[in-house]
Structure 1
Amino acid sequence: MNPNDYRQFYNEQSFRQKLQKFGKTAGVQVAYSALLLFYVMKEPSVPLKAKVTIAAALGYFIFPTDAIPDLLPLVGFGDDLGVLIFALSQISGNITPAVQEKAKTQLRTWFKDFDEAKLDEIHSKIF
């Protein structure tokens, strides 16, 4: 399947359901990466090309039968993280401090205490 084909699987309701169900299992880095993309997608000033990239990455994240099943311990979300990081690197110019703060605020509701250095690892890969 072409990576852009996954965009057909993206919709906000499915995204929210996936994150609510698997956010803690996926871990703070996967959840943060997905949330960054989600909040960038909602910005009206973001170009259509970037939104297509985001929809494809989030569609892959949502798709129930991706390359490595999400239910496998430790590795199940590794492929998802790779796809999310790639998409983030492609649209990094659209990630504002406000978007980052929205994603962090949502993380704090799911992960009461998390190591913010894990987020710095994500930033180092995309900026």
Structure 2
Amino acid sequence: MSNANDFRNMSNDELNALGADYAGEFSEQGFWSKVRKVASKVGGKILEPALKLYYAAGDKDTPVWAKSVIIGALGYFISPVDLIPDVIPILGYADDATVIAGAIATVAAHIKEEHTRKAKETCRQWLG
């Protein structure tokens, strides 16, 4: 098994072993592809929290249980199958925002200032 501190090198089976329902949907390439695709549509209200989670998941100090929550939420975010299809105007990303907000609330103690700073920087680069 890969080192649980580095989710980027984990296989889908290893991610699923963390217990995250949507962990199998998560991949770093899929995450960045989704971010590129939706950045201008969703803006910073969804993008910045998703990026905070992403950076927290990559931190060696984040415990495995928190990474499981994060990877599940990010897997849901990038999954083409979700409760409200993303193509529905206005409502399409509401379920994604709810899942991301729930993950943020659950793992808030493990989101460091550096994760927030990186998320803000990345949003500024993508959104201007």
TM range (shorter): 0.7 to 0.9
After TM superposition, the runs of 4+ consecutive aligned structure 1 residues lying more than 2 A away are none
With normalisation by structure 1, the TM-score equals 0.83
2:62 pairs with 46, 52, 61, which one? 46
- 3-state DSSP class of the match of 1:67? coil
For residues 1-127 of structure 1, the aligned pairs below 5 Å read 4-112=20-128
Taking the aligned partners of 1:27 and 1:109, their CA distance within structure 2 comes to 12
RMSD over equivalenced CA pairs, Å: 1.1
Q: Is the 8 A contact 2:42 2:93 kept in 1?
A: yes
The structural deviation recorded for 1:100 is: 0.4
Name stretches of at least 5 consecutive residues in structure 2 with no aligned partner: 1-18
Aligned length: 110
Structure 1: gaps of 5 or more residues:
113-127
Identity %: 35
Of structures 1 and 2, the one with the larger relative CO (CA 8 A, separation 6+) is 1
Instruction: Please tell me the residue identity of whatever aligns with 1:56.
Output: G
Q: What TM-score do the two structures reach when normalised by structure 2? A: 0.83
Deviates more, 1:23-32 or 1:73-82: 23-32
Q: Which residue of 2 aligns with 1:118?
A: none
Residue 27 of structure 1, CA deviation: 2.1
